[in-house]
Amino acid sequence: MELSAKQLAQVLRGTVEGDADAVVTSFAKIEHGKPGQLCFYANPKYEQYVYTCRASVLLVNKDFVPKEPVTATLVRVENAYSALAELLKYVASQRKRYRCHRGWGCVRFLSTRLGRKVYLGAHSYVGRHSVVGDRTKIYENVYIGENVKVGKDCIFYPGVVIYANSVIGDNVILHANCVIGSDGFGNAPQPDGTWEKIEHLGNVIIGNNVEIGACTTVDRAEMESTIIHDGVKIDNLCQIAHNVEIGENTVMAAETGIAGSTKIGKNCIFAGQVGIVGHLKIADNTTIAAKSGLIGHVRKSGQVLFGTPAIPIKNYMRSYALFKQAGSEEK
C-alpha cells in the first residue's frame, strides 16, 4: 500500500491540512506512529499522542481543534473511526487478485456449477449439485456438501465445513474451522434411560454481508431453517443452535451460546460469554453485557441487560450495591 494524503482525502471524502503529498505505506496506533505510517485520532483519551505522534498522516474528525502544534499532515473526515474502517476495507479490496485457480487435489463434479474467477484451494471439496458464485474464494481443505448454494464474493478460510443444503448469500466470510449446518443437539429420553437421536432434516440460511468467526458452529434446523439475516457479525467460538433466527445487523462476541428456537431481533449486541436459553424472543436493539444469562423473553426494545438471570442493568447495579453491603456486613 502506498497512498498520499491527497489520495486518502479523495477515498474518504475528506480534506487535507498540511502536506498533500505526504505518503504512507502502513498503519499504526497513534501512540506508535512513525514516518511513513498513518494513524487515527477519535477517542479524546488519546489526545496527548496527537502532539507527539511522528506519523506522516493523521485521520481526525472534521471538528477537531488542536491545542498544540501538530507535525503530521491531517486528513479531516466526518468520523475518523468510521473512516479508518472504510480505508482498511479499501486497502484490502485493492490487494485482492481475483483469478481462477484449481488447487492440487481439489474435488468437484460435473453437476457442480462454479461462477467466474472462483478460487479452489488444494484439497477443497465442492459437492454434487452445489452452486458457487463469482469471485468466491474457497481456501485449502474446505468441505462444501451437496446442494449447497453459495453467493458471490465470499471467502471461506481453511477448514470450513458446510453441510448439505445450506444457502449462503453474497459477501459472506467464514473463518477457519467454522461449521455450518451440523446436526442440532436434539435427543429424546427413552423409558430405559437412554437417549434417542432426533434427526435434523432442515438447513441453514445465511444472508448477505455476514461474517462468522473461527470455530463457530451454526446448527441446521430439525425442520425448516436456522436463519442468519443480512449484516450479522458473529465472533469466534460461538454456538448457534437449531432453529435459531438472528435478525439483521446483530453482533455477538466470543463464546456466546444461543439455545434452540430462539428468535433474536435486529441490531442487538451480545458481549462475550452471553448464554441464552431456548425458545425465547428478544426484541430489536437489545444489548446483553458479558457473562450474562438470559432466561426469559425480552419484549421491550432498546434495553441493556446484565447478570444471571439477566435484568435491566440499572436494576442490577442497585441489586449489586445491596449484595456488596451484605457481604461487607458478614465480614
Q: Is the dihedral of CA 57, 61, 63, 66 positive or negative?
A: negative
| Neighbouring C-beta atoms of residue 49, cutoff 10 Å | 17
Chain-centre distance for alpha carbon 304:
21
Residue 120: beta bridge partners?
Answer: 102, 138
Q: Of 229, 242, 279, 297, which one is the catalytic site residue?
A: 242
User: To which residue does cell 468510521 refer?
Assistant: 82
Separation between Cα atoms, residue 15 and residue 197, nearest integer Å = 62
Omega before residue 69 within 30° of 0, cis: no
Separation between Cα atoms, residue 95 and residue 118, nearest integer Å = 16
User: To which residue does cell 429424546 refer?
Assistant: 188
**Pairing assessment for the beta strands 269-270 and 287-288 based on DSSP bridges:** parallel
242 is catalytic: yes
Cβ atoms of 176 and 193 closer than 8 Å? no
- Least Cα distance to 196 among 186, 182, 206 occurs for 186
Residue 162: beta bridge partners?
Answer: 144, 180
Half-sphere exposure of 118 (CA within 13 A, CB side): 20
C-alpha cell at 97: 487478485
Separation between Cα atoms, residue 48 and residue 68, nearest integer Å = 10
Cβ atoms of 282 and 246 closer than 8 Å? no
- Own/partner contacts of 154-161, CB < 8 Å, gap of 24 or more, are 157/214, 158/121
Separation between Cα atoms, residue 236 and residue 66, nearest integer Å = 39
Annotated catalytic residues are 242
